[in-house]
Structures are given as C-alpha cells and as structure tokens.
Amino acid sequence: MTSALHLVAAAAAAGEVTTGEKAVFFILAPIALIGAIGMVAARNAVHSALWLVLTMLSLGVFYIVQAGPFIGMVQIIVYTGAIMMLFLFVLMLVGRDASDAVIETLRGQQAWAIVLGVGFAGLLGTGLARVVGSLKVVGLEQANADGNVQGIAALLFTKYVWVFEISSALLITAAVGAMILAHVDRSLRDGTAVMSQPERMRARFEPGSYPGPKPGPGVFATSTSIATPAKLPDGTPAQRSISPILPTRELTAAEVANKQTEGR
C-alpha cells in the first residue's frame, strides 16, 4: 500500500497526473455532480439523502486516489455510514412526506439567495481556478513518507495532541446534547416516579385499588358480547368489566334479566 502511495506522491510531486487517476476522476466527477444535483432536485427527502450518499462515496474515492486513504476511509465510514444514517433517521422523524414550506416569509428571499449564492460561488470559484492553475503542489511525498496513517498519527500525537484531547469535549457535549434534546426520563414521561418493588406492592393493596383480577364481560350475563357488563353475585352489573374504550350499549331485556342460576 505504501509503495502505491509513494508512486502517487512522486507523480504528484512531479506535477503529473497518472492515467489511472485521470480515469477515476473523469468517471466519478460526473457521478458526484449528478449526486449533488439530484440531492437538491429530488422531491422526496429520502431520495435526496440517497443522492447525497452517491456524492459522498465519490468524494471518498477521490481522497483515496489523491493519496489520502485515511481521510477517504473516514469519509466513507463516518459520513456515508454514520452521518447519513443520522440524516435518514431525522428525515423519518420529521416524516418522509413532509415538504418544504412554500410560503416566503421574507419577500424575494429565494431570488436574492440564489443571486447572492451564485455570485459568491462564482467569485470564489474563479478566484480559486486562477490560483490553482499556477499552483505547484509540494510536500505530499514527505507527508506520506512513512505511510499516510503513520503520518497522521505523528501529527495527531505531537503538534495537535492538545487539540486531540480537547476534541473529546466535543464528543461529550454531543452525547449530552443528544440526551438532553431527545431523551425523556421514564419517571417524567409517565408522570409517576419510578417505584421500588415494595412500594409497588403496597400501592397495589392500598384502599381504593382492586388487587384481584377483574370479572370478564359476559361471564355472569346472558350474553357473550364483550360490551355486556358482567354481573356481580348480587345481580348488579359490574361496569369495570367493560373496556373503557367500548361505547356504552343499550342492554336488551334478556341481557338485563337474571339467569335462572341465582338464588338456588
């Protein structure tokens, strides 16, 4: 792997582009562009996200071809894998049929945004195009001398070790933030505190609660309908035997009448 990198680096140092690199670029660049355009143009949000996957995968391959295998793999693992998954979940959270608001809160905002955006991109693009034409690429070979990942390790643990350690603060904040914004403690969600087993047991036998099984509907009645209340031994209907979601039903005379079993 390192020898291949050396060759690529050597070629880049000499200001050349290998045929393989050219071929990869001319195949994948249109695909990346199509993905980007598809992402903006797709009506369905999920399709839009999938177009973005295409672009990101192409970019990952570009990085690898340009002698940056580590960043290429990170692009594929973190962006195309984890972050796109997050995108899709958030889309499903909103509902995949949810569409953009078509009402402009600020009049002419879209037109201005397009004009300024294209203008800015044009300015930066032409400026960079002129610069890059005359730019000589140097230092790739030295940077990748021991291999790309080793080079990154050397930087990460010397010059940027402090930043590296501090970046764990970002990860903690991200995790805490996700918990704060998306997680509800169970006790608050149900409106009751989480009870211990003894507390639960005491609550079950407290006055007012009925610890035994409830009578099933229709059991002591003259009907098999679940909308007919059960009858208690003294003949009164037990309302708690009916599910609260059922509509109240007018009972027929036969259902109200006691069975011949009582009183014998």
Give the footprint of another protein on residues 102-131 (CB under 8 A).
124, 127-128, 130-131
Distance between CA atoms of 35 and 48, rounded to whole angstroms?
9
186 binds another protein (CB under 8 A): yes
Please give the full DSSP string across 47-62, using - where no structure is assigned: HHHHHHHHHHHHHHHH
Distance between CA atoms of 160 and 153, rounded to whole angstroms?
10
Exactly one of 15, 95, 207, 233 binds another protein (CB under 8 A); which one? 95
* Cα of 128 vs its chain's centroid, Å: 35
158 binds another protein (CB under 8 A): yes
Distance between CA atoms of 227 and 77, rounded to whole angstroms?
57
96 binds another protein (CB under 8 A): yes
Across the chain, where does the E strand assignment appear?
A: 230-231, 237-238
Scanning 90-98, 217-225, 227-235, 253-261 for contacts with another protein by CB under 8 A, the matching segment is: 90-98
Scanning 34-42, 132-140, 199-207, 255-263 for contacts with another protein by CB under 8 A, the matching segment is: 132-140
Which sign, positive or negative, has the C-alpha torsion 42, 45, 46, 48? Answer: positive
- From first CA to last CA, the distance across the chain in angstroms is 95
List binders of another protein among 187-226 (CB under 8 A): 188-189, 191
Distance between CA atoms of 131 and 181, rounded to whole angstroms?
44
170 binds another protein (CB under 8 A): yes
150 binds another protein (CB under 8 A): yes
85 binds another protein (CB under 8 A): yes
List binders of another protein among 35-74 (CB under 8 A): 65, 70, 74
Q: Which is nearer to another protein, 33 or 176 (CB)?
A: 176
Number of residues forming the site for another protein (CB under 8 A): 77
Q: Which of 87, 88, 34, 23 is nearest to 61 (CA)?
A: 23
Exactly one of 38, 81, 215, 237 binds another protein (CB under 8 A); which one? 81
Least distance in angstroms from the C-beta of 162 to another protein:
4
Q: Give me the residues paired with residue 238 across strands.
A: 230
Least distance in angstroms from the C-beta of 190 to another protein:
8
How large is the C-alpha radius of gyration of the chain? 35
Exactly one of 109, 142, 173, 239 binds another protein (CB under 8 A); which one? 173
Least distance in angstroms from the C-beta of 216 to another protein:
23
183 binds another protein (CB under 8 A): yes
Distance between CA atoms of 97 and 91, rounded to whole angstroms?
9
